[in-house]
Amino acid sequence: MARSHVFMPMSILLILALVLGACAPVPASPAAPGEAPAAAAPVSAVELRITWYDDGNEGAVLRDLLDRFEAANPDIRVIIDTVPYASGILETLPIQLEAGQGPDMARVTQLGVLSKYMLDLRPYLSNPAYWEENFGPFLKWMQTSPDGNAIPGFMTQLTVTGPFINRTLFEQAGVAVPSDSSDRVTWQEWAAAARQVADATGAFALAMDRSGHRLAGPAISMGAKYFNEEGYPSLVGDEGFKAMAQLMVDWHADGTMIPEVWIGSGGSYQAANEPFINGQLVMYMSGSWQVGQFAEKIGDAFDWEAVPNPCGPGGCTGMPGGAALVAINTTKHPEAVARVMEYLTSEEVMSEFYARTLFIPGHLGLAAKGVDFQTDLPQAKKSLEVFAAEVGKLAPLAYDLQAYKYNTILFNATRDRLTQVFTGELTLDEAIQKMQEDIDAGIAAAQK
C-alpha cells in the first residue's frame, strides 16, 4: 500500500515535467564560427501616408527630415505619395476624403472647404500652447466655424501672390523696369511696359496663373469688394471686380496675355511657370512659392526677380495663402500622426525646412527671428525680400477673403466663367451673373 501511494505522485510529476519540457522554447543554436548571430525580430511599425505635391524641392527636403524621424522612431513609417497639384490635390483628394478613403495627412491649400475632413490634433499634442503661439492666425483658416479652435495642422509655408519679371528681357529691349522709379505702378502701366518688351524680344508679355485666387489680389487693388454688407459674396454690381475682369478680357483680346494658360487649360487650375522658366515670358503673376523652383530650374540663366504688387484705386495688394500639412480625421493612428506633426513643427526642424525650400515662414517665432535661407543666388534672396515686404501691404479684405470658408467656390466660379468671356461664349456682364449663380448654388449645396 505504501508503495502505491509513493508511485502515484511521482508519476504525476513525471508527466508534468514532460509536458512543460515540450512547451518550453527551444534555445537558439549557437552560430557557427564565422557566421553572424541571428537578427532580432523587426519592430512592427505603424504605416502613415501623406498625400503631397511639390512646387520645388520641398518633397525631397521633407523626405530627408522624415528619414531622421524614422531612425529615431522605428515604430512609425511615413510614406509620401507625391501627386500633381491640379489633378491630385484639387480634384482627386476631395473625392477620396468624401468617400472616407483619404490618407493620414495631406498637404492642401483649400483650407476652408476641406476643414470638415481635418482631425483636431489638440487632444494628442504634448503642448497645444506652442501651436497657438506660433500658428494661431493661420489656424483660423482651418476651422469649420468662425468660433472653432481646432489644431488640424500647420502651414508648410506662408505665401503671398505677386508678379515676377524677366529683367534680362527688359534690358535687351531697352525698356526701363517701372518699379525701379516708382513705388506705385498700376497694372495698366506694367502691361504697357511688358508689351513693349515683348514686341522687341519676341517673348510673351504677360501671364497669370489660371486661378481665382491669383486674380483676387489685382481685383482688390482695382477696388473689388467681393462681399456685401452682410458678408455674403456679391459680384453683380461690384465695379472694382468688373474693372479687373475687363482688363483680363482686353489683354487676352489684344495678345498681351498668353492664351493657352486660361483658354487652353481644360477647365482647371493651370500655372504659367514653364514659359517663364524657359525665358519666354516678360511678366508672370504668381507668388512666393515659385522662388524655390525658379532658383533650382532657372538659377542664373537670366536675371529674374519678384516685383511689388501693382496698384489701383483699392491699393497695391496680393493675396495671402499657403499650403498646410493637415491631419485627416479618418486616420486610424492619430497618436502617431501627432508625433510626426510635433517633430516637423519643432523650431529646429521647421527652420531647416524653410531655409532649404526658400519658403516664407508660416511660423511666427521663426518669422520674427528670421530664417537663414540656403541660397547664394541674388535673384532668390531679392525675391524673398520683396515678398516678405509685401506681407505688410496686404489689404484687410485679402485676409478676409482668404479666411472665408467658401472661397474656393467663389474662386472657381470667377475663374471658369471669366474664361468663357475669353472664348467668346459669354459677355462679361453675362459671365458675372453666371458667377453669382454658381456661387449661390455652390454655397447652398455646401451648407446642406
Secondary structure (H, E, C), the chain:
CHHHHHHHHHHHHHHHHHHHHHHCCCCCCCCCCCCCCCCCCCCCCEEEEEEECCCCCHHHHHHHHHHHHHHHCCCEEEEEEECCHHHHHHHHHHHHHHCCCCCCEEEECCHHHHHHHECCCHHHCCCHHHHHHHHHHHHHHHCCCCCCCCCCEEEEEEEEEEEEEEHHHHHHHCCCCHHHCCCCCEHHHHHHHHHHHHHHHCCEEEEECECHHHHHHHHHHCCCCCECCCCCECCCCCHHHHHHHHHHHHHHHCCCECHHHHCCCCCCCECCHHHHHCCCEEEEEEECCHHHHHHHHCCCCCCEEECCCCEECCECCCCEEEEEEEEECCCCCHHHHHHHHHHHHCHHHHHHHHHHHCCECCCHHHHHHCCCCCCCCHHHHHHHHHHHHHHCCCCHHHHHHHHCCCHHHHHHHHHHHHHHHHCCCCCHHHHHHHHHHHHHHHHHHHCC
Mean pLDDT score, 223-251: 98
Grade residue 6 by pLDDT with cuts at 50, 70 and 90. very low
What percent of the chain lies above the pLDDT cut of 90? 82
Give the pLDDT score at 182. Answer: 96
- Decide if pLDDT at 297 tops 90: yes
Residue 43's pLDDT is 62
Per-residue pLDDT reduced to its tens digit, 317-343: 999 999 999 999 999 999 999 999 999
Please, which pLDDT band fits residue 9 given cuts at 50, 70 and 90?
Answer: very low
Q: What is the pLDDT of residue 42?
A: 54
| pLDDT of the residue at 266 | 67
Q: What is the pLDDT of residue 370?
A: 86
Residue of higher predicted confidence among 11 and 45: 45
- The pLDDT score that the predictor gives to residue 312 is 97
Average pLDDT over residues 23-47: 52
pLDDT in tens, 63-88: 999 999 999 999 999 999 999 999 99
Residue 309 has pLDDT above 90, yes or no: yes
169 has pLDDT over 80: yes
pTM for the complete prediction? Answer: 0.80
Residue 268: band (very low, low, confident or very high) from pLDDT cuts 50, 70, 90:
confident
pLDDT in tens, 254-267: 999 999 899 976 67
Say if residue 34's pLDDT is above 80. no
Task: Give the confidence band of 448 by pLDDT, cuts at 50, 70, 90.
Answer: confident
Confidence class for position 17, pLDDT limits 50, 70, 90: very low
Residue 19 has pLDDT above 90, yes or no: no
* pLDDT level of residue 357 (50, 70, 90 thresholds): very high
Identify the residue with better confidence: 389 or 188. Answer: 188
- pLDDT tens per residue, range 420-435: 999 999 999 999 999 9
- pLDDT value at residue 92: 96
Q: What is the mean pLDDT of residues 155-175?
A: 97
Res 254: pLDDT:
96
In this predicted model, which residue has the larger pLDDT, 408 or 27?
408
Q: What is the pLDDT of residue 269?
A: 87
Q: What is the mean pLDDT of residues 135-161?
A: 93
* For residues 260-287, average pLDDT: 91
Q: What's the rounded mean pLDDT across residues 116-120? A: 97
